[in-house]
Structure 1
Amino acid sequence: MNLHAAALAEAPRSDETTPAFASDAIAGLTRQPKQLSPKYFYDAAGSELFEQITRLPEYYPTRAELGILRAHAAEIAAILPQHAALVEFGAGAATKARLLLGASEFAAYVPVDISGDFLNAQARGLRKDFPHLQIYPVTADFTTPFVLPDRIRTMPKVGFFPGSTLGNFEPHEACRFLRGARDILGEGAYMLIGVDLEKDERMLYDAYNDAAGVTARFNLNMLVRINRELGGNFDLSAFTHRAIYNRERHRIEMHLISKRPQTVRLQGRSISFRSGESIHTESSYKYSLDRFSALAKGSGWTPTASWTDPDAMFSVHALRS
């Protein structure tokens, strides 16, 4: 659970996004085991639910990462080149980027996000707060190759990927993303990345199974979105949220579990579920400092520094290409 921040009103369906959403949903729900990509959590309602999650007492990552960025802003700024372009992968509300923009001498900010309307609205607010900063929003799926604006071509580049979103990727996908980011940013670029750390399993369980049920609503909203945008007929009362820690793979897994045998219609297809059958909606890998450093090195980056919160629950890493 980390890909974006909030959009406060329901976003319109995107003609560009819907065909990919439909093909990905059908492919995922007709394979065994069933799965859906976590990138489709974040319509406007899902983004707002995630914002609620970040304020829950059980959910530590956002508080811990913000604390790290505030406490070590000067150290981070000292490592980065001045007058660089800050390129944020999956920018959302840019809450954490604001901390960096206020602490360092950036010449430009390039927020990259799949939600163009929300992205442009956030850019307008940033221009008011940082009137001397060049801001160039890029509407794109940051998990695939995209082109940076020509106006920042000659600037030093600093990538920013907060929120432990990397943990949503399988390790080989995380490696591919880091290699792709290196290709986009270019030789000599820096990357700041948030990584959730291994910790007590009870704390992890509680963070993804909060007492207020917000995470359950967030998970089920994927089915709401499929019904609204793709014409599905999922009965939400027939599915339940489940999050478990897979100790062997160092990851939290989120699932939607079918409570009974049922058949769902989607885009002219019939999709059958057994009682107890799961749709795997998200994995969130937890790393040790050493395991993440090894992943970064294997992806063509050189680790230069890392910081953790006082309880060592979360980490922020500086890498150089």
Structure 2
Amino acid sequence: MNLEVHLDADELARTLRADVTTGLTASPKWLPPKWFYDERGSELFEQITELPEYYPTRCERQILAAHADGIARHTHARTLIELGSGYSTKTRLLLEALTGLETFVPMDVSPSALTDAAVRITAEYPGLTVHNIVGDITRHLKFLPSGGDRLIAFLGGTIGNFDPAERAAFFADVRAVLGEGEHLLLGTDLVKSPSVLVPAYDDAAGVTAEFNRNVLHVLNRSLGADFDPAAFEHVALWDAEHEWIEMRLRATRAMRVTVADIGLTADFADGEEMRTEISAKFRREGVRAELAEAGFELDHWWTDPAGMFAVSLSRAI
């Protein structure tokens, strides 16, 4: 088991300071969703994936279980690269099917999640080489290993956290890494009724609300901020124009927040909302067009029986 680090604690801290400075001085205010995922945030997200309202994880797992053998036949992958791998919980469906696999390369910003997952996977698949990469998928794809009939997997619908320009840049970066004939496996949540979408991001038990407010705990701990997380309400809404869910935090009173480590103060009006995440939803032709623009051909498109979620397999051309 190897560990390759391209994102150390100092760089993470610099990135956090820059993001918070930019986001809290913008109008309207915003914070990027990657800062949800400290240890507590990761635990909360794992709870979210098991909630009755949150269908994406179940649907994607169902698709992978039904089509993992087909993915193996189509790709003949000897190297599986998983971007934003976290604890690699769904990856085992692919590891079981990819019988010719030699190397597994999980990439994530969290070294602890990578190490925990790698220990389990190495024990379950003793002949498999596990090469962990600590890195940011928007900046460090150039460090992915070359060769080996590669299959890059980007699952969970995480591509929806990027706006259209960010998606175009990301797909171009992935295509630049892959050789002709290598593959991208992509999970995308699909456009559907807001009556289904909104509860998936605003569950009755309040777990998503706690997850959303957790970003404020991260800023308090990491940057000496004095947010009162209890003074912010969780908001999830459907933006029909952009076809995405927005998560926001709404101030329940006027307040001034100080972020000591960067010498910043931010004033919030009563009722002011700060965006913390977008989660774009997709249509097949839109996915095909975006991938084609980056140099991919969409070869396979699989959905769960209810048509809620899609996993696509595309080939670099």
Same fold per superposition (TM over 0.5): yes
Q: Tell me the secondary structure at the aligned position of residue 90 of structure 2.
A: helix
Kindly provide the amino acid, as one letter, of the partner of residue 142 in structure 1.
I
1:102 alignment counterpart: 96
Quick one: which of 233, 236, 239 aligns to 1:240? 233
1:14-33 matches, cutoff 5 A: 14-33=9-28
Structure 1 stretches of at least 4 aligned residues deviating more than 4 Å after TM superposition: none
Query: Which residue is equivalent to 1:203?
Result: 196
2:183 to 179, 190, 206: 190
C-alpha distance in 1 between matches for 2:188 and 2:274: 25
Q: Identify the residue that residue 4 of structure 1 maps to in structure 2.
A: none
The one of 113, 116, 119 aligned to 1:118: 113
Residue number in structure 2 paired with 1:64: 59
The alignment status of 1:77 with 2:72, answered yes or no, reads yes
| Residue 156 of structure 1: aligned partner | 149
CA contact (8 A) 1:145 1:184 kept: no
Q: Aligned-pair distance for 1:187?
A: 3.0
Deviation at 1:146, TM superposition (A): 3.4
Q: Hey, what does 1:10 align to over in structure 2?
A: none
Number of the residue aligned with 1:8: none
1:45 corresponds to:
40
Residue 4 of structure 2 is matched in structure 1 by none
Structure 1: unaligned runs, 5 residues or longer: 1-12
CA distance in 1, matches of 2:27, 2:204: 31
Using the aligned pairs only, state the percent identity: 42
- Aligned letter for 2:9? S
User: Number of residues paired by the alignment?
Assistant: 306
| C-alpha distance in 2 between matches for 1:96 and 1:186 | 25
Gaps of 5+ in 2: 1-7
Structure 1 position 37, deviation (Å): 0.5
CA contact (8 A) 2:41 2:211 kept: yes
**Which residue of structure 2 aligns with residue 228 of structure 1?**
221
Distance across 1 between alignment mates of 2:58 and 2:147: 35
- Asked if the contact 1:182/1:189 (under 8 Å) is kept, the reply is no
Q: Determine the C-alpha separation between the residues in 2 that align with 1:135 and 1:185.
A: 19
Given candidates 284, 307, 313, the residue that maps to 1:318 is 313
Please report the RMSD computed on the Cα atoms of aligned residues, expressed in angstroms: 1.3
User: How far off is 1:22 after superposition?
Assistant: 1.3
Residue 261 of structure 1 deviates from its aligned partner by 1.4
Q: Does residue 90 of structure 1 match 2:84?
A: yes
1:121-132 matched pairs, under 5 angstroms: 121-132=116-127
Q: Which secondary structure state, in structure 2, belongs to the residue aligned with residue 153 of structure 1?
A: coil
How far did 1:185 drift? Answer: 2.7
**Partner letter of residue 277 of structure 2?**
E
Deviation for aligned residue 1:23: 1.3
Cα distance in 2 for residues equivalent to 1:148 and 1:81: 22
Deviation digits for residues 272-305 of structure 1, max 9, x if unmatched? 1111111100000101111111111112111010
- In structure 2, the residue corresponding to 1:52 is in which secondary structure? helix
